Structure 1
Amino acid sequence: MNAWTRRTISGSAALSLALLSLTACGSSGSGPGADSIANTTVGLLLPEKSSSTRYEAFDKPLIEKSVASLCTKCTIDYANADNNETTQKMQFDALLEKGVKVILLDPVNAKDTAPWIEAAKAKGAKVVAYDRLASGDVAAYVSFDNARTGELQGNALLDALGPKATDANVVMINGAESDPNAASFKSGAHKSLDGKVKGIVYEQSGEWKPDVAAQKMNDAIHKLGKTGFQAVYVANDGMAASVIETLKAAGIKNVPVGGQDASVDAVQRVLTGEQTYTIYKPYQPETDAAGTIAVLLLKGLDVSSVASSITESNGAHIPSMLLTPIVVTKAKVAVTVIDGGLYTKDEVCTAAFTDACAAAGIQ
């Protein structure tokens, strides 16, 4: 599962082809194929909003913008499950009852969605797995190369340790076991770290919950002692923030800690040196891909010709768009998240971080 076979076509080229297809069909209701849209609603179900700010701040508004730019008559029916699988199932069922024919699903628990997908197919609806690969016969999958994300996280931790890496013990706080992305991040990180550090001396799931990550970090400190580890791999920024506070409370300093998602507070911690790195996933290419695929499916068009890759999952070959993540260190804040348009200088360099921004060359 989650083995990728790359095609020669790039993700950006695939999106360009998709946009050409939509233009030919008339995104605002003119041209051949436009009248075939019987239902102009796209369902959007996102998983949570407490551990990561990205879904409400970026994914939702950018997907709404993407769909609207391609289909002026289309609307988004949105719900966030706030990390509750039962809630998300009710939200999914509600969309089916409304007759929604295309659903973008970022599942709380990707392992249990196969019956959901079958229920959708029975009602003539198609499900696109967004950001996390849902189990079941989904119509398409849009995400980042998650194993590569884990590799980048591991490599960034090694860079931070430098020549001390071979003698370093590492604590790992992974994502939720119900999330296939977390497994990919974990395997990618192990690929980078195994054999390059002295050992992984403590490894637990933080369940994508900052309070759980703090508990696990406290447990690691209790078992290993304050000098029993030299770096901490953390799967995302929300958990990294709580791990950093836990280390501070224990009086532990100069231990590299990384995360991912490039939340603005994480970027600011990177600038001050509290957090060693984060991973920037340019959200707009991902949301544009999701919006493009959703509108193509609404129009009854085949998405396989515009996919940048194929994901193999339980024997199925799923048309996919998998994008490339980027490491953000202090030296790279300006050229990544600011120049990339994720944040403005003013959003990052608030009064408390003016000196840190200046030291990083952000003018």
Structure 2
Amino acid sequence: MRAPANFSQDGSEGGVVRFSGDLSLSSLGTLPNRLDGVDGKVATVDLSGVDRIDTVGAWVVHRFASKHDAQIQGLDEDGQNLFDQVAAADVPVDRRPARVSPFARVVGEIGDAVVTTGRTLYGLLGFLGATTLAFLAVMRHPRRFRYNAVVQQFEAVGVAALGIVGLMSFLIGIVIAQQGAVQLRQFGAEAFTINLVGRITLRELGVLMTAIMVAGRSGSAFAAQLGTMKLTEEIDAMRTIGVSPMEALVVPRTMAAIMLMPLLGFYASLIAIMGGGLLCAWQLDIPFVTYVQRIREVVPITDLFVGLIKAPVFGAIIAIAGCFQGMQVEADAEQVGSRTTSAVVQAIFLVIVLDAFFAVFFTWLGWD
């Protein structure tokens, strides 16, 4: 059994402290506290009497020698290597972060955001290509098409959304009619409120607000569902048994969104027109029959075509963005929430960008 760690102090030769015994963690005892009480000059630390030493013991001796600016003697090759490693690790840590100018920090954050956006768009384009290939594979092999999954998504994306979409559209129709009537009354043109409500709901707001609502409702659900399945390794299990996750999970959701968005958009436009008609009858004393006849006269059929053409594109963008973000979840439960948020933000952003593109495109076609 080795002797416990100890030391003795000799005042000769400029002051010598000789260590002995076992300088390991289990045998140090009160040695560090007793070393703190050593006074006087210490020129040499002698370790020739030490039986064993570990990293903690080496650190205690190194700290003592550094405090008194003493030389360490009596080490063999292994002991010297250990002390060299301890000395190399004895570097003060600067806990203060490097000072960065506000301008450089803002530019760096902008650069990081641009890089992240570019990578996300690149990944989204790749996912769009994978989804297209999955659609083609299902078309080549119709038996692999999952009708039950598509019908289930019909209910989740369309039927269950009728209530909230209808309420939102009805209120938007009332707001448009009320604000339009207030402004047009200044020019004695309250009757043109009907033109405003009819054209803006069928052409723009009906489909656009429905897309935003579907992105917040169904797009987030797609991301959360697929993210949870990715987290629980259900998607990996599907690949193991030979089932394509793109065909089984992404294609039904994308197809449901593409097919139901035109119906939801048309439904939202009709409800918004009804809301505008209610306000016109109440505030402008325009009978509802007259309101409907005026809508038929002033709203061209091209406005309906514009809304119906944009709707499936918006549905595809919403579904692909939601599924893409859900498939990006890794082994971290926190990512389910962050990816769901990213799916909603990404879908709404892309929908608005595409809506602006369609506005310019249809104007160029003369459908204005």
More helix by share: 2
Same fold (TM over 0.5): no
Structure (1 or 2) with the greater strand fraction: 1
TM-score by length of 2: 0.27
**TM-score, normalised on structure 1?**
0.28
User: Between Structure 1 and Structure 2, whose CA radius of gyration is higher?
Assistant: 2
